[in-house]
Structure 1
Amino acid sequence: MHDPRWLQLIDRVRADTPRLLEDFLAELSTHDGYVGDAVAADDIERTARNAFALFASRLAGDAGAEEPSAFAEALGRRRARQGVRVERFMEAVRINFRVLWRGLERAARPDLTDALLAHGEQVLDVVERYATEVQRAFLEESDSMAQQHRTAKERARARLFSGQATGDELLAIAHMLRLSTSVEYEMLATTRDGERLSREVLENGGQYFDDGDTTVLLRPRRGPIDWVDADPGLAGGYVSRVHGLDLVGRAAAIAVDLAERADEGAVCRLRDGFASIARETMLERLAGFTHELTGAFDAIPEGERDRLAVTLRTFIRTGSMQRTAEELFLHRNTVLKRLRAFQDLSGLDVTVPRDAAIAMVILDL
């Protein structure tokens, strides 16, 4: 039976995850050759967050916590593929433990210190088990890469797709990966059929990078027809034209962002995802002042707001009241009334291009 005081302590640590993450990133940043080298900062942050979640789950004895961790396995292999040296990787694991222990001590004060002391051995067991899992996966993947002479290529791919390579280094990477510097490329970020598509792009003069969650594929264009139009089975975030290898890193970041916004089994292009991306950026800049743009619209009941939003979205896409009415099986006058109702609430007339643009971005239409 679980000790309720121990579970209370674990809950405190879970609530303290932002502080744990901040402490981990601060300490790791003092170690050269990790963050910003082969491993992107967002990868580091996502991994640390998942590691602390795994520690908490195992310490609390959650269901399935005793099973081998697929996350630890994937992490060890990914770090090996990214070319991180084993001593640097394991130092990051040790930092995880130090930050976790400090977080436990902080959470235990002043009333749960006895609970922490009673479970100190359990903490050591959980961390040692995690370290063993990630190190074993790392070494197994390193051995496999050494046997197949892939280490140099994987490092080159990581540098290319991170956008960190420039000048002579970029030319060397292009030579190593057999990429032409004189052709135009297209890019797809996908979570489906990554292994098969990776083989196909390699066979056709392209390259790929797998970050553990998404496969980013770079392929020379074959003419005016976009890759995703020629193959309707593709899904994810798509960038149609990449003018030069020096833009691969930026294109990859955009493609991954678009893939996160794509509907299941569908392709999301920059035009499709632009409003959503712009909305996130603008909401951060305009926090606390969006009412200046939307008026009283956000204050109406959710059902009414959703009903108006469907009509607005369809009208902005079609630009026609008649087509909107036909697609939504409404009378044309009903469409007109809803657009006027939205104008009364927000002050935005979506028949005017400027107001339509504001509504499309701010309301994510």
Structure 2
Amino acid sequence: MTEQPHAPRSVIREVAAVVLADLPSFADRLSEMGAVREERIYARNGKVPKADMWKSFHDNGRSVLLLVTRGFEDEREWLDPPLATGRRRAEQGVPLESVLHLFRLGGTLLWEMLLAEARRRSPAELEEFVDGAMLLWEAIDRISVAMVDSYRTWQAEIRRRANRRKERLVGALIGGRGVDPTVAADAETELNLSARGRYVVVLSAGEEAEEDLRAAQSCLAVHGMQSVWLSRGERVVWLVELAAAGPARVAELLTPHLRDRAGMSGVVDGFAELGVGYQLAETALLTQPGGAAGIAVLDDRLPEALVVSSPQLSQRLAARTLGRVLELDAPEREMLLDTLETWFRAERSAGRTGTLLYCHRNTVLNRLRKVELLTGKSLEDDRHQLACRLALMAYRTLLR
């Protein structure tokens, strides 16, 4: 019969039991070793008391040694400390790499203490201890994985809670509750915005990738503007606290990061007016035709804003003003409306309109006469000109 190899586990378990009885010494030594880099981070964080660090070292060291001495089957005693450490460090905002660094230091120190104890034994036992050392590293890996899983789980939960608070507060502000002192105080603390700042509200129509939103937020911050964004279904709301720059600068910085059309309010004062700002941003967005990209700045599109603010009246205005022009087949209708729109843009010059449309001025005049015939009014009438301009805006934004 072939002799079965002796499992190299008994000596390391005996040695681990000895070190297990000296855990306070392990925690003391690891606290001193950890001061090199991580304590600076922990101290700067300001939320990890030394007693908490010491207890974490002690309890996680105990879990490793329990795994070595008793095996991996029973989780009741060894699992709670790494789970608790992961949860607390996530709540305290300690970087995961810093926690893992201390876990690696702890593993190295445990190995040194175990090896020192094993060297007090016979050479044969020392050799058997070294053969079974993999058991220690398996235990350390098991504890580290449990801590990391707990850290990431709680970090995700903390983010979810923060997002829920952000949703609640941004929703309250754009809902007009910024005048409430409690809401304002909570928003200042949670959102890192000033209750008395100058703001614009931006509303984009499409869902944006989170990385693009964060990149846009960083871009605004580089230029001294604090901001908060919130995804609401298929829209994204931005609250941007202005610095020295105005709305045009915000539009310039945000546009490269937005995939769809957006609307921007005029400047509003403080949390108290963010509800109005949101309504204005909605109006600005409505002035941007579907499929168009970029940000419609309200103050640059006030006539269009008037049109979309009263869609029923605007549609009636378009129908009454343009009359039978709108009943023409699409090619002829678009030709006449484009001519009329270009004529207004060219300051009512038939020659310049012809140049812009690549046709003779007489062709322009013939088309304008047809518009007059179909509408029943002269384009020399100032009031009719105003009605035509508004009707064209209504057609482009509401009817087309």
| TM-score normalised by length of structure 1 | 0.51
Q: How many residues align?
A: 226
Q: 1:251 aligns with which of 259, 277, 281?
A: 277
Distance 1:286 1:231 in 2: 31
| Other-structure match for 1:166 | 179
Partner residue, 1:338: 367
Task: Say if 2:170 is the partner of 1:178.
Answer: no
Counterpart of 1:208?
A: 229
1:107-256 correspondence to structure 2 within 5 Å: 144-145=157-158, 149-176=162-189, 177-190=191-204, 191=206, 192=208, 193-198=212-217, 200-201=219-220, 204-225=225-246, 226=248, 227-229=250-252, 233=256, 236-256=262-282
Q: Answer whether contact 1:201 1:208 (CA < 8 A) is retained.
A: no
Q: 285, 297, 313: which is aligned to 1:269?
A: 297
Task: Please report how far the alpha carbon of residue 216 of structure 1 lies from its aligned counterpart in structure 2 after TM superposition.
Answer: 1.6
Q: For the residues of structure 1 that align with 2:362 and 2:319, how far apart are their CA atoms?
A: 28
1:208–1:354 CA distance, 2 compared to 1 (3 A) = farther
The corresponding residue for 1:354 is 383
Pick the aligned partner of 1:309 from 323, 334, 337.
337
Q: Kindly tell me: are residues 253 and 199 of structure 1, through their superposed partners in 2, closer, same or farther at Cα, counting changes over 3 Å? A: farther
Computing the radius of gyration over CA atoms, which structure comes out larger, 1 or 2? 2
Alpha-carbon contact 1:189-1:255 (below 8 Å) kept = yes
Distance 1:249 1:232, change over 3 A: same
* Counterpart in the other structure of 1:299: 327
In the alignment, the residues of structure 1 paired with residue 182 and residue 230 of structure 2 have an alpha-carbon distance, to the nearest angstrom, of 18
Do the aligned residues in 2 keep the contact of 1:216 with 1:256 (CA within 8 Å)?
Answer: no
In the aligned structure 1, how far is the partner of 2:251 from the partner of 2:159?
Answer: 35
Q: 1:328 to 1:151 in 2, by over 3 A?
A: same
Give the secondary-structure state (helix, strand or coil) at the position aligned to 2:296: strand
**Residue ranges of structure 2 left out of the alignment (5+ in a row):** 1-152
Q: TM-score, normalised by structure 2?
A: 0.47
SS in 2 for 1:218: strand
Alignment RMSD (CA, Å):
3.5
Choose 276-285 or 325-334, whichever is displaced more.
276-285
User: How far did residue 141 of structure 1 move?
Assistant: 12
Judge conservation of contact 1:298–1:305 (CA < 8 Å) in 2.
yes
Give me the whole-angstrom Cα distance separating, in 2, the residues matched to 1:145 and 1:318: 58
Residues in 1 aligned to 2:252 and 2:166: alpha-carbon distance in whole angstroms:
30
Quote the Cα distance in structure 2 between the aligned partners of 1:317 and 1:245. 39
- Which ranges of structure 1 fall in alignment gaps of 5 or more residues? 1-139
Q: Which amino acid aligns with 2:229?
A: Y
Task: String of CA shifts for 1:196-255, please: whole Å, max 9, x gaps.
Answer: 324555783222222121212122223355222456525521224223322212222332
Q: Mark the CA change 1:331 to 1:149 in structure 2 (over 3 Å): closer, same or farther.
A: same
